[in-house]
Every structure is written in C-alpha cells, then in structure tokens.
C-alpha cells in the first residue's frame, strides 16, 4: 500500500513537471517561449505598445512590416513568473503570457483586465499559396459582453459599433479594409496582415482570420481614450503631414471634363459668379481613347495646350488635380516597359475589355518607373495635386488564379490589402524627392494602415446617390477616423446619380434636396469636393441666385471658407499632436455612454457638433447633445445643457449645428479662394459657459518649411469666471507672417432665442504678438 502510494505520488510529480515546467527566455524587448509546438514572442515597442508574434515551431520568421515604421525602444520592464504565468510590467501597462496555453492577456497598472486572447486561440492551417507552402493564420480573443468597438477602416454597413459583425476585409470600391479596431476600454488592436482577412465577432469570441501568413503578428496599443489610441496608432505607423491651406477650401469635379476648354470654363464661371473655389479636378481620358489608358500625357486634340491650361488655372488663383491610375493599356509606353521587366500583375483592371493591367506597386523599381512617366508627362507642367483612382485596385473578371500572381513581395493574395499603401508611397516619396515647393496631396479611393504618412485623403468611392447611402457615410467616416487615418471625404451627392436624370438632373427637386443636404455634411469633413457622374454638379447647373438650391450651396461654401482658420489650425493639431478632424462622440465625451453608438452625429474638430439631415423631406430632427458640456445652437445662439435630446427644425437652409461652451472660434474673412486675404482682421468668437483654449496656427500655406519650424502659434485662453480672454505671446515666425493685426473679439449670446446674436460688447483690439488680457 505504501509503495503504491509512493508510485502514485511520483507519477503525479512527473506529470506536474511536464505540465508546468515550461521555460521562457528574456529578450531585449520582452520574452519569448515555445508553447504547444508554437513560438510565442512578446515585444514592447514602447510602454504603451506591445507586439505579439506567433509562428509554428521550427518555422523561421523574419518579417518587416509595410505599415509599421516605429522602431522599438528600450522599455524598462519588470518580469516575473508565478504559476506558469509570465508577467511583464512597463510603467504604463501589464502583459501576461500563459506558458501552458500560449494565451497573452493585457491589463492596466491597477490590474484591471483590458484585452485577452482565448486559451489555445492561435491557429496555423497549412495551405498552398500558389506553389508556396505556408499557412492560413487565425487568432481568437475575448471581449466583454457590452464592450463597444470601432474601426475596420471604412465599411458601408451603417454601423458605428462593430460588435456582432462578420466582415470580409478585402479592398474594393466603397469599402476600405483595415484589420484594426479600438475599444471604449481605451486600447486598440492592429492585426498586421495584408491578405484578405475575416473579422468576426460573436458571443463566443472575436477573431481575425487571414488567408495567408507565415506568422501571426499583431500590436496592442493602450491609449486610455479614443484620442490616445489614435495617437499610438500614428506613433506606430506614421504621422500625417500638413496639406496646403487651399485644399481645405472647395473643389469642383465632374466625370469628366472632356476638353481643357470645358475645364477652364468652369473655373471662369465660378470666378464670374464670385463663388469661392480652390480646386478643379480633371478626371480620366485626358489621354485620349481607352487603348491609350493612363498614358500620363495629354491628348493633342482635346487638350492641345496643357501648359496653357495649367497656367490659366493658376492665373485664376485655382489649383489643378490630375487623375492617375495604377493600370495601363497595352498600347502605352508604360505597359510595354513594365511588361518587358516583368512588373505587371497579370489580371484585368479598369476599364473592362481593354486588357489593362496594374503595375507591381510592391516593387520599388516599378514605383520609380511609374513616377518617371508621371513626372515627365504631368507633374513637370505644374500640377498641384493627384487623384489616385482605383487604388484597391479595380479587379475585372476575377479568377482565383489572379491571386496566385507573383509580385515583388510574394503572391498578390498575400499582399492585396496593402496595394493602396504601396501605390501612395511611391507617388508621395518621389514627389517629395523631386520638389518641396508644393505639399503632396493624394486623393485616393482606398487606404491601409499607415497611409496617413503619405498625405492621403481617402474618399468613400463610387457610392450611389440615394438617402440610405448618404446616411451610411457618417459612421463610415467616423470609423475611418477612429482607425487612425484623419483625412476622409465623399462625392457630394453620391457618384451614380442616373436615377435622377429623367426628372431634370440638377434641376430635379429630389436630387437638389439630396445634393444640398450632402453638401451641408461635406462642409464639416476634411475635404469639401463636388463630384459624380450622370449629372453635372457645378453650382450654376442648379439654377441662379434666388433659387434655393443655388443659395443654400453658396451659403455653405462661404461658411467653409469662414471656417478655414479653425480647420487649418485643427489640421495642425492632426500633424503636430496626432489629432483628428472627424471625431466620434465617444472621442470627445468618453464618460457619456449614450453617445457610444450614435451613428448620426459627429464632432468637427474640438468644438462643433454636427447632425446631418439624412432623411428626405425632413422638417425636424432629434439631436443628442452629449453630457459634460453646455451647447449653443450655432444658428440661434440658444443654449442647452448636455445629456439630452432635443428636436430642431430643419428647413433646407439649416443643418443642426451646435458649439460646445468654452469654444473659441476664429472666423475667417469672406474670400473667393483660400489665400485671397490675410488673416489680419479676424473675428474671434467666444462661447461662454466654460473655460476654453484654442491655438491659431499659421504658416506659408504650402511647401514644407513648416517642418523646419517656419510657422506661428497664437494661443487664446478664456477664463469663464473672470470673463477674460488672454492672448498669449505669439510663438514662432515665417516669411510673410502678419505683424500687427486686429482681432474682433465677440461674445456669442442669445437674444430672444432668434438669430445668431453677437454681443454688442464686442471689442476690437490690436495685437502685436505680445500677451494681452481682455475683459468681455
């Protein structure tokens, strides 16, 4: 009996050693271990950012990210082990690695759980990717039952909260697919894989499942808030440079201007009507017929004097976008050169039946060749901005073998989702190397993580002209911003407007209503741009002054220009402080859970709450005012306490717009283009009811001298109790900056609940860059 008991004890002891005596190894960035026939490595990139790498045992992994550019820093860590759990603690976060199951879990310093994998949640399924033996990779996680998450790029599902979704993340027109989400618990997850990936969330688990991957690779970011997570994502994947001031004005486009004379006529008409305009866009076929698709040169019949066209646009104080595609027709020189060097990806792209093929954007030499043609044929003429269309890219007559096609970095399947990132990289890097006189502007139809560093402004694609599609653009824009990319826009009125043609096109009252409401929304997005097919969208197509469809457009285009000092300063906050222009209610009011799933409203910068009218024939609209602030109706000055919904009348000339108490709004002059007048006599609107601060940013308007410190910041601080505004010493300098200037200080008040009444106690002061305190 005694001997049997000893044998049982010995057997249990040996089993215990086998079950729990797993080992781990310290590394310069964290720890690594082999668990369940799987290599697991935890790497601290900063006290807030942690990378998790997993791969099958025996598989060598040497991986350089296309999205991540941050180099890991040496992070002081406390590492301990207890009960087969390795705990790594930085000054800001805690990570635990289970040596038995391979599960990685994350917590804050108070040991409150933030995010966790499932036990045994990693999967590696052997597959053949073309002729390459590799894996499909999957990782499952566990979220709290009521946890709200945002992101995934730009989806057209109409939802803000992405819980309960199964989304196939593969780039396509109207859908920008980025395997990233952030949580209201203050963390973000970036799944660093470029193959088509299924994101799934259900009651059992949340998972990423990628079709191709030699390893499982993701980043955990602890930001503490929406803004904090965005800042960490930018730290990881790159900051967004400043765009020129003019691009924040109004741009006009059409599918398409057929001659240079047609394009010039549009600019001339805007100037004659005194309607503000800064950008004009030339869409496709300026190169001639489709068999010359994307030749990057102007057809001699329809664009006989392209240099004269560019110069004329500039003489009228406007700027020119030119479209460029990633695919080439066989007749072009580019196609022939790329083909001879095996730098085409062999599938059909737009247009159909033209045998057009995309170039290998993943090949640095191919990107060099692409720019050499673009520079010689177009940029050398003085073009101001690029419209990079079809950056998903379009894929015609899809066949499964198309994804087996080789690229410089592997099969097309393995890198598909990063196509827009690499394409924009090529154009941005080459223009920066060619000239610093103009800031790069890339209007692009798709995006991937990190693309903000290439000065890309992504539009929502060729969406349809109808009210449900319009409504879906709001959560699409907000989720895109919460993914970490700050610049987004949409075709005003939607792209495909054919259903309105029979009713009179731009004179069709139904289309006019949709278009005007969409323009009101666009006034409060990072780019205000009119574009579409079937119906020309220039303001004069809708009527003349005195016609409501004309007058309301003019009102909101002018408003956009009044907002330029506010918007340009907000853009500086994007570049300088990793901020955002389009903001969720959660981003600004994280303590108010009623705003977490609000998919009809957003913040425009720090001060404006926007509730676009997205229902046909709407006469009133319910607007939720977040708790934690007092709100002013922008149009009437009426004041409301937050934390409740109100009904607002919505005549066609009004979009619900509220300003947070404590806001300081610089209100720009009336102009015909962004740089027409200096900001030497700005109105400064103050919304009392809370303390506030705003920094006015100014620079040379274009070029990259701001990167060398050529800019100024003027900070305004409002003390609500003292009713005083302090204007601090101006910081910095640049060539041509304003010396002495006037500020018209206005305290916004209500008068009988009607009209945006401004205090009669407004003061005009002269400011010469030295601190002043003004009582109001």
Annotated catalytic residue within 129, 192, 392, 601: 392
- Where is 425: in which H helix or E strand? helix 419-434
In angstroms, the CA 540 to CA 120 distance is 63
From the list 133, 230, 135, 142, the residue with the least C-alpha distance to 181 is 230
Cα–Cα dist 716/724, whole Å = 10
Q: Which contacts qualify for 264-268: CB closer than 8 Å, 24 or more apart?
A: 264/309, 264/312, 264/313, 266/538, 267/312, 267/313, 267/316, 267/318, 268/316
Is 570 in contact with 579 (CB distance < 8 Å)?
Answer: yes
Peptide bond into 383 cis (omega under 30): no
Question: Which strands make up the sheet holding 664-667, listed edge to edge?
Answer: 664-667, 681-686, 741-747, 763-767
Radius of gyration of the chain (CA): 28
For the chain, the first-to-last Cα distance in angstroms comes to 95
Helix (H) or strand (E) holding 233: helix 226-237
- Six token digits for residue 585: 């209610």
CA distances from 272 to 256, 535, 553, 675, 705 (A): 22, 22, 16, 18, 34
Which tokens go with 758? Answer: 């401004």
Q: Please tell me the distance from the alpha carbon of residue 319 to that of residue 251, in angstroms, as a whole number.
A: 9
Give me the residue label for tokens 């001659």. 259
SS3 356: coil
Is 389 among the catalytic positions?
yes
392 annotated active-site: yes
Give yes or no for a contact between 170 and 417, defined as CB atoms under 8 angstroms apart: yes
User: Is residue 554 among the annotated active site residues?
Assistant: no
Q: Which residue has the tokens 């305004």?
A: 716
Omega prior to 390 cis, within 30 of 0? no
Cβ contact 543:550 at 8 Å: yes
- In 3D space, the residue among 74, 67, 69, 20 whose CA is nearest the CA of residue 47 turns out to be 74
Going by the DSSP 8-state scheme, the letter that residue 175 receives in this structure is: B
Residues in the chain: 776
User: Is residue 64 classed as helix, strand or coil in its secondary structure?
Assistant: coil
Q: What is the rounded (10 degree) CA torsion for 268, 522, 186, 444?
A: -50
- Cα three-residue angle 668-578-720, rounded to 5 degrees: 55
Catalytic residue, candidates 81, 290, 429, 462: 462
Torsions phi, psi for 27 (to 5 deg): -125, 175
Rounded distance between C-alpha atoms, residue 54 and residue 102, angstroms: 9
Selected catalytic residue, list 348, 389, 538, 702 = 389
Tokens of 208: 């990423």
CA dihedral 591, 597, 602, 603 (to 10 degrees): 10
Orientation angle between helical segments 467-482 and 226-237, nearest 10 degrees: 70
∠ at Cα 476 (470, 477), nearest 5°? 95
Beta strand pairing status for 741-747 and 681-686?
parallel
Given a contact cutoff of 8 angstroms between Cβ atoms, the answer to whether 258 and 302 are in contact is yes
- Give one DSSP letter per residue of 426-485, joined into a string: HHHHHHHHH-SSS---EEES---TTGGGGTEEEE--S-BSSHHHHHHHHHHHHHHHHTT-
Write out the two tokens for 545.
């002054």
Active site residues: 389, 392, 462
């Amino acid at each position: 009996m005694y001997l049997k008991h000893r044998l049982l004890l010995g057997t249990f002891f040996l089993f215990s050693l086998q079950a729990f005596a797993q080992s781990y190894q310290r590394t310069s960035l964290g720890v690594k271990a082999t668990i369940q026939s799987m290599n697991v490595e935890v790497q601290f990139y900063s006290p807030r950012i942690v990378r998790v790498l997993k791969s099958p045992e025996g598989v060598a992994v040497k991986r350089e990210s296309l999205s991540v550019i941050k180099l890991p820093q040496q992070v002081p860590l406390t590492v301990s082990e207890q009960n087969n759990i390795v705990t790594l603690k930085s000054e800001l976060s805690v990570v635990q690695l289970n040596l038995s199951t391979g599960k990685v879990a994350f917590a804050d310093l108070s040991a409150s759980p933030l995010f966790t994998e499932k036990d045994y949640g990693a999967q590696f399924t052997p597959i053949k990717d073309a002729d390459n033996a590799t894996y499909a990779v999957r990782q499952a996680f566990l979220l709290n039952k009521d946890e709200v998450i945002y992101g995934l790029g730009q989806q057209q599902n109409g939802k803000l909260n992405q819980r309960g979704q199964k989304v196939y993340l593969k780039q396509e027109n109207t859908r920008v697919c980025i395997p990233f989400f952030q949580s209201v618990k203050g963390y973000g997850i970036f799944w660093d894989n470029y193959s088509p990936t299924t994101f799934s969330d259900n009651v059992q688990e949340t998972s990423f499942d990628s079709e191709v991957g030699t390893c499982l690779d993701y980043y955990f970011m602890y930001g503490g808030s929406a803004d904090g997570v965005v800042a960490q994502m930018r730290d990881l994947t790159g900051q967004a440079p400043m765009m020129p001031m003019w691009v924040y004005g109004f741009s006009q486009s059409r599918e398409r201007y057929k001659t240079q004379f047609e394009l010039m006529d549009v600019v001339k008409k805007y100037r004659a009507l005194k309607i503000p305009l800064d950008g004009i866009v030339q869409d496709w076929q300026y190169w001639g017929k489709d068999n010359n698709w994307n030749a990057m040169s102007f057809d001699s019949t329809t664009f006989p004097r392209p240099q004269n066209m560019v110069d004329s646009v500039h003489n009228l104080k406007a700027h020119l976008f030119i479209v460029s595609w990633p695919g080439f027709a066989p007749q072009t020189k580019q196609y022939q050169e790329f083909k001879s060097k095996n730098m085409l990806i062999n599938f059909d792209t737009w247009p159909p039946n033209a045998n057009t093929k995309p170039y290998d954007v993943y090949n640095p030499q191919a990107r060099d060749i692409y720019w050499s043609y673009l520079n010689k044929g177009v940029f050398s003429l003085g073009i101001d901005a690029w419209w990079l269309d079809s950056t998903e890219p379009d894929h015609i007559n899809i066949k499964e073998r198309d994804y087996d096609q080789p690229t410089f970095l592997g099969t097309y399947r393995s890198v598909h989702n990063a196509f827009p990132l690499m394409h924009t990289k090529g154009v941005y890097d080459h223009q920066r190397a060619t000239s610093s006189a103009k800031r790069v502007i890339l209007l692009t139809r798709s995006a991937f993580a990190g693309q903000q560093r290439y000065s890309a402004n992504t539009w929502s694609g060729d969406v349809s002209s109808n009210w449900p599609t319009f409504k879906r653009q709001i959560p699409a824009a907000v989720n895109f911003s919460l993914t970490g990319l700050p610049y987004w826009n949409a075709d005003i009125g939607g792209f495909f407007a054919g259903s309105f043609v029979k009713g009179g096109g731009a004179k069709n009252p139904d289309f006019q209503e949709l278009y005007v409401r969409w323009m009101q929304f666009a006034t409060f997005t990072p780019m205000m741009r009119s574009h579409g097919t079937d119906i020309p969208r220039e303001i004069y197509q809708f009527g003349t002054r005195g016609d409501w469809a004309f007058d309301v457009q003019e009102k909101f285009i002018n408003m956009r220009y009044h907002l330029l000092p506010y918007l340009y300063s907000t853009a500086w906050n994007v570049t300088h402080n990793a901020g955002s222009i389009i903001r969720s209610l959660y981003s600004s009011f994280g303590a108010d859970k009623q705003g977490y799933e609000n998919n009809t409203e957003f913040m425009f910068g720090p001060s404006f709450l926007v509730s676009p009218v997205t229902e046909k024939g709407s006469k009133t609209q319910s607007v939720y005012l977040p708790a934690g602030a007092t709100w002013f109706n922008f149009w009437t000055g009426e004041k409301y306490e937050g934390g409740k919904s109100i009904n607002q009348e919505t005549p066609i000339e009004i979009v619900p717009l509220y300003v947070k108490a404590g806001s300081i709004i610089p209100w720009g002059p009336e102009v015909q283009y962004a740089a027409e007048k200096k900001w030497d006599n700005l109105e400064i609107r103050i919304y009392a009811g809370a303390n506030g601060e705003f920094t006015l940013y100014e620079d040379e308007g274009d070029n990259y001298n701001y990167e060398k410190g050529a800019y100024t910041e003027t900070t305004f601080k409002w003390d609500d109790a003292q009713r005083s505004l302090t204007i601090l010493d101006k910081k910095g300098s640049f060539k041509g900056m304003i010396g002495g200037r006037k500020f018209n200080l206005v305290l916004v008040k209500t008068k009988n609940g009607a009209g945006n009444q401004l205090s009669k106690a407004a003061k005009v002061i002269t400011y010469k860059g030295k601190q002043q305190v003004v009582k109001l």
